[in-house]
Amino acid sequence: MANLTGKKVAILTESGFEEVELTSPKKALEAAGVRVDIISSQKGKVKAWDHDHWSIELEVDKTFDEVQESDYDALLLPGGVMNPDKLRTEPRAVELANQFLDSGKPVAAICHGPQLLIETGKLGGRKMTSYPSLKTDLTNAGVSWEDKEVVVDQGLVTSRSPKDLEAFNRKLIEELGEGIHNRN
């Protein structure tokens, strides 16, 4: 396992994230020495969704207005159906996603997480995957969509669903270790 002590990752989320799509990458990152902050529009706690019911609550470390892209080395976007749909309507969340994509820092999105990235208008020409129901949305955004457990394109890491978490976590950590990716 890579030692990434000193690195910081921002997890943007709202209530309604798929529990394991946040907790599994967070645990893997922390095991590699990474500091992980949960960032939301609201203070207090965000509530997880677990397949078909509400689940655990996690403490929000900071709000969107308290952070900037330069505070972090990577961005993580968990899925769930509700969470990404809420995030894409938050102007500050879209702005942060835009800044991460511009920076070349790793951006990782699983399942429905890429919905926020669609709002940036910066996915044209990228290779990605997602939950299958987003294929048309991503294709319409200019993405070359692939049905694989994990797709990496210049630091942009995407996976389809919780069943892909092992590969997703591994590639997220690998890309974080590589650092900034310059797109030509």
Residue tagged active-site, from 51, 53, 111, 181: 111
* Residue 181 a catalytic site member: no
Q: Reduce the secondary structure of the chain to three states and give it as a string.
A: CCCCCCCEEEEECCCCEEHHHHHHHHHHHHHCCCEEEEEECCCCEEEEEECCEEEEEEECCEEHHHCCHHHCCEEEECCCCHHHHHHCCCHHHHHHHHHHHHHCCCEEEECCCHHHHHCCCCCCCCEECCCHHHHHHHHHCCCEECCCCEEEECCEEEECCHHHHHHHHHHHHHHHHHCCCCCC
One-letter identity of residue 31: A
* Residue 112 a catalytic site member: yes
Give the residue among 76, 75, 94 at the shortest CA–CA distance from 85: 94
Residues forming the active site: 111-112
